């Protein structure tokens, strides 16, 4: 457990909880603690799905600008890869992952949310990539994941202007998946991923790998990747359980193996 990031596990749901007052600024320590929490969520069999949560007040208002301001090109070129890979560790958790967003998800905070499979957003939340206003661009996945999620034209609008979007616009453009009152954000996020808690863990892992990996491939390569993953699941106990339950007209009781 880190000083500012911890993994809390209850009933098969792992919550990666950010807690760096006041605004969950994502300094180097938080980035590395995020990496460690993501690794734990990945390897712990007790974790079947993940919620990334910054608390009732704010998800994450961005990187620690005071820490970055003193860095030159040499310093940032040495750090930029680690910054990006810390967020990528969240994206690579091979389980369903949802961001529970209250308050602000700006800059690095928005990039962290983009690394999740879904985003549950408070109705009074604000999201955006304001890095251009600091004379830089998003550096932890924002230019890449945002464009893939909402399309290049909309991503350019948000990144070029640095403007914030409210929850309604986020939902309309596909940046948010559900909008609920702030008090309901965490419970809604838990409910969203709880549906996968008793699912076939290896098939869910394969489905996520097929979709995310296929986005980086041409269609023919993606189809071959899908076929390989599909065939591999016939070596799992859950495939046998699922198909036998289907023929017997029973509900499958998956074991995650």
Residues annotated as part of the active site: 63, 108, 111, 131
Stretch (H or E) spanning 127: strand 126-128
Residues composing the chain: 257
Could you tell me the two tokens for 59? 């998800």
CA angle, 48 as apex, 46 and 53 as ends, to 5°? Answer: 100
Q: Rounded to an integer, what distance in angstroms lies between the CA atom of residue 70 and that of residue 76?
A: 10
Query: 92, 63, 50, 43: which is closest to 186 by C-alpha?
Result: 50
Cβ within 8 Å of residue 235, ≥6 positions away: none
Contacts of residues 146-151 at CB distance under 8 Å and 24 or more positions apart, as own/partner, are: 146/110, 146/114, 146/175, 148/215, 149/114, 149/174, 149/175, 150/174, 150/175
Hey, which residues does 119 pair with through a beta bridge?
Answer: 99
Is 236 strand, coil or helix? coil
Q: How far is CA 11 from the centre of its chain?
A: 20
Contact yes or no for 112/26 (Cβ under 8 A): yes
Q: In angstroms, rounded to a whole number, what is the distance separating the alpha carbons of residues 17 and 59?
A: 9
């Amino acid at each position: 457990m880190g000083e500012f990031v911890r993994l809390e596990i209850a009933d098969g749901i792992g919550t990666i909880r950010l807690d760096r007052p006041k605004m969950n600024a994502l300094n180097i320590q938080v980035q590395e603690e995020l990496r460690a929490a993501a690794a734990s969520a990945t390897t712990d069999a007790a974790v079947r799905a993940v919620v990334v949560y910054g608390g009732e007040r704010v998800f994450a208002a961005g990187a620690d600008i005071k820490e970055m301001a003193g860095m030159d090109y040499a310093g940032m070129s040495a750090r930029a890869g680690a910054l990006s890979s810390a967020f990528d560790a969240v994206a690579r958790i091979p389980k369903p992952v949802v961001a529970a967003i209250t308050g602000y998800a700006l800059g690095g905070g928005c990039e962290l949310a983009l690394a999740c499979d879904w985003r549950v957003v408070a109705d009074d939340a604000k999201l955006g990539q304001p890095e251009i206003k600091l004379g830089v661009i998003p550096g932890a996945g924002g230019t890449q994941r945002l464009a893939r999620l909402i399309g290049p034209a909309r991503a350019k609008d948000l990144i070029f202007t640095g403007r914030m979007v409210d929850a309604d616009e986020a939902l309309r453009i596909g940046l948010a998946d559900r909008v609920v009152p702030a008090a309901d954000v965490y419970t809604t996020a838990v409910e969203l991923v709880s549906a996968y808690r008793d699912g076939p863990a290896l098939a869910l892992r394969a489905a996520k790998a097929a979709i995310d990996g296929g986005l980086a491939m041409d269609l023919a390569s993606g189809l071959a990747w899908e076929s390989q993953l599909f065939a591999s699941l016939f070596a799992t106990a859950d495939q046998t359980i699922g198909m036998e339950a289907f023929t017997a007209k029973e509900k499958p009781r998956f074991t995650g193996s």
